[in-house]
Amino acid sequence: MASSIYVALSAQSTMERRLATIATNLSNMSTPGFRAEEVKFETLLSKMGRNSVAFANDGEVFTSLKSGPVTYTGNTLDVAVRGAAWLGLDTPAGRVLTRDGRLQINENGELKTLDGFAVVDPGGRPILLDPNGGTVSIGMDGAITQAGQPVGSIGVFEMSPNAKLVRYSNSGVIPDLPPNPVIDFTNQGVRQGYIEGSNVDPIMEMTKLIMVQRAFESAAMAVQAGEDLTQQAITSLGPA
């Protein structure tokens, strides 16, 4: 009977972790470039007497890399990343990758995100433009021209498929393996005048939320039932 209580408690622990990721996803469903969090659960086996008991672990949180919807804005400093590529940013935490392509030029001519992080070129250097230099054009490969003259290039990077990600701010991620500049722009690159939205599916997340809440309640009832059975056994088998 005790093992059934522990199994139910482990289920509640995993579902609490899942609820936290769903809440994060729903709060960022309108954040440009946001990548949803998912949880991968595995079963742990433990020997309790002569029988094996299956517990659920706390779950491994990972970032969903599927693309979000792309919207046309017409803003020359908006870029949507194509394919599996990312933009590179210079931040206090080092190199950060993002899919949020809402850019701006500050008074010093630095190309930055709306959060104030410098956008870097393929070599990892900040990009400087002329605030009064005229219209900015950005090619599919990130090449920047201003008033018809080449002035720099936005770095477009790709990550190793084995890289593990740590979230930075809302839409940024930090891989544990160094990213590489994209060389082949056939299926990857940027689109000027567009932004990419969050890849969160709000209807699916709400469905998951309802399912997890119901499962959590069922696990709580199982815990209570196990405690009741234990109490009944103590009462029945105890001294008269």
How confident is the model at residue 44, as a pLDDT?
44
* Residue 114 DSSP class: T
Q: What is the CA radius of gyration of the chain?
A: 25
How confident is the model at residue 38, as a pLDDT?
85
How confident is the model at residue 215, as a pLDDT?
72
How confident is the model at residue 42, as a pLDDT?
53
How confident is the model at residue 149, as a pLDDT?
92
Neighbours of 207 (CB within 10 A): 12
How confident is the model at residue 48, as a pLDDT?
46
Give residue limits of the domains in the chain. 2-64+200-237, 70-196
How confident is the model at residue 55, as a pLDDT?
47
Average pLDDT per 10 consecutive residues for the chain, totaling 240 residues: 56 74 92 89 48 55 90 96 96 95 95 95 95 92 94 95 90 94 94 96 89 73 63 64
How confident is the model at residue 46, as a pLDDT?
45
126: Cβ–Cβ under 8 A, 6 or more apart, which residues?
90, 110, 111, 118, 119, 120
4: Cβ–Cβ under 8 A, 6 or more apart, which residues?
222, 226
* Residue 208 DSSP class: H
How confident is the model at residue 228, as a pLDDT?
62
How confident is the model at residue 210, as a pLDDT?
86
